[in-house]
Amino acid sequence: MSIRYELLTLLRDHGPLSRAQLAGRLEVPRRRLLAELDHLVEAGRVVEAECAGPRRGRRSTLVKLDPGLRFAAVDLDARSVGVEVTDGCLRAVASYSERCDIRTGPVNVLGRATRILEKMRAQGHFTQLDAIGIGLPGPVSFREGVPVSPPIMPGWDRHPVRDVLSGEHGCPVAVDNDVNVMTLGEQHSGVARTVDNLIFVKIGSGSGVGCGMQIAGRIYRGAAGCAGDIGHIQVDADGPVCSCGNVGCLEALFSQEALARHAESAADDGRSLLLAELLAAKGCLTARDVADGAAAGDAVCIGIVRAGGRQVGQVLAGLVSFMNPSMIVIGGDLADLGHILLAELRSVVYQRSLPLATGDLPMVLSELGARAGVVGAAVLASELAYGGPVS
Ligand SMILES: [Zn+2]
C-alpha cells in the first residue's frame, strides 16, 4: 500500500495529527513522509491547522484532511435508494433515502440518485464531489463497473453504472456488490473494527443470502468479482428447484420466496393462527411476516426461521473450515430474525467446523444495521480517492 494512502486514511480515521504523530504511526523514513505530506498539501488534499500545544504559549502545527473534500455514498437495494454525502473523514454532511423499485431499470434508479445529489448540491452541501461509491444488489464486475446478469434487476445487465455516474458528476466512481460494500462498512466503523479476516452474511428480504469476505484486511472479490455468492450452494439434494435451474440451492430454501411459501402453507393447513389471519387479511404473505411472527413468538414462524438458520449454518460451516475467519457478522434487513437465527447458525457451525477454527469465533449481529450499505459505500469512495486498495 502506498504512503499516500496510509497517510490519508490515518487522517480520515484519526482526525488532525502532527507530523511527529504521523511519523510515529507509519513505518516509513521521515524524509519520504514529509515529502509526501508537502505533495498532498500542494495538491489541496491536506491542509495545515494551527492549534494550542500542551504548554501555554506554544503552538503546534497539525495536518488534517481538506475540510472541502466530499464523497457520495449510494446504497441501492431492491426497494430503496439511499444517498449520503460525507466529508473526507466520512462524517455525514447530508443524508436522504426514498423508496424506489430497482426493477424500474437503471435510467430511472440512477436518475433518482443523481437528482438527490443535485438537490444536496443546491442546498450547499458540496460544490464538487471527489469520488462516489455505490453498492448494487447483484453480481458486479468490479473491474468494469457494471452489474452482470443480476437476477433481481431486469434491464441492468452490463449497464455502464460507473461510466454514467462518472460522466454526470465529473469524479471517479467505484461500483461494487452491496454485500461487499456492507462488509467494508462493518469493518470500518461497525462491530468488526478490529478484525482483519471477516465473513459478513447478508440475509435480505429482497435479494436473498449473500456473503462478503475480507481477507488479511482486504475485500476478496475473486477473479470475476462474484466471490461470496453463496445462494446457489446446494444444501439439500432432494430440495426444491431453484430459479437458477439447479436443485436444493440455499436460495431455494431460504429466501424471500421460500419463507413466504412456507408461511402460506402453514397458514393454509392451520398450523399457525397468526399467519392464517394475516393471509386472510392481506391475500399473501412475505418473508417480513415470518420475521415479525417470529419476533412476536409464533412457534411456526420460529420453526421456519430455525430451519432456515440450519441451512445457512451448513454453508457457513463449510466457509469457516475453508477460510478460518476471526469473526462472522450477520446483517441485512432480515437480520432482526437475529437471535433465533444466530442460535441455529452457532449450533451448526460449532458442530461441523474444526475446533481450531471455531475456538474463538464470534458470530454476531451487524452493529450498523440498515446503515452498513451507505457507510461502506463512503469507505469505498474514500479508498478510490485516496489511491487505496480499490484502484
Ligand atoms: Zn440456485
- d(C-alpha 371, C-alpha 373), whole Å: 6
Angle at 219 between CA 208 and CA 112, to 5 degrees: 55
Q: What is the Cα 92 distance to its own chain's centre? A: 17
Which three cell numbers, joined as nine digits, stand for 70? 466530499
Question: In 3D, which of 367, 373, 372 has the Cα closest to residue 134?
Answer: 373
71-184+371-385 shares its CATH topology with 192-366: yes
Which amino acid does the sequence have at 302?
I
Please give the average pLDDT of every successive group of 10 residues along the chain, which has 391 residues.
91 92 88 91 88 58 94 94 97 97 96 97 97 95 93 94 97 96 95 94 79 93 87 90 88 84 91 92 90 89 89 90 91 72 84 75 90 96 90 53
Determine whether domain 192-366 maps to CATH 3.40.50.2000: no
Q: Could you give the count of Cα atoms lying within 13 Å of 375 in the half-sphere of its Cβ?
A: 18
Question: What distance in angstroms lies between residue 255's CA and the mean position of ligand 1's atoms?
Answer: 11
Give the model's pLDDT for residue 298. 92
The residue ranges of every structural domain in the chain are 3-65, 71-184+371-385, 192-366
Question: What distance in angstroms lies between residue 163's CA and the mean position of ligand 1's atoms?
Answer: 31
Question: What distance in angstroms lies between residue 139's CA and the mean position of ligand 1's atoms?
Answer: 14
Question: What letter does residue 171 receive in the DSSP assignment?
Answer: S
- d(C-alpha 71, C-alpha 91), whole Å: 10
Question: What distance in angstroms lies between residue 209's CA and the mean position of ligand 1's atoms?
Answer: 11
Which three cell numbers, joined as nine digits, stand for 144? 468494469
Question: What distance in angstroms lies between residue 205's CA and the mean position of ligand 1's atoms?
Answer: 17
> CA distances (Å), 340 to each of 101, 225, 289, 309, 310, in order?
30, 32, 15, 8, 11
Question: What distance in angstroms lies between residue 243's CA and the mean position of ligand 1's atoms?
Answer: 6
Question: In 3D, which of 177, 164, 181 has the Cα closest to residue 379?
Answer: 181
Question: What distance in angstroms lies between residue 311's CA and the mean position of ligand 1's atoms?
Answer: 14
CATH class for the region spanning 71-184+371-385: alpha beta
Beta strands in 130-229 (DSSP E): 131-136, 140-141, 146-147, 173-177, 198-204, 208-215, 218-219
Question: What distance in angstroms lies between residue 232's CA and the mean position of ligand 1's atoms?
Answer: 4
Determine whether domain 3-65 maps to CATH 1.10.10.10: yes
- d(C-alpha 171, C-alpha 386), whole Å: 13
Cβ atoms of residues 327 and 364 within 8 Å: yes
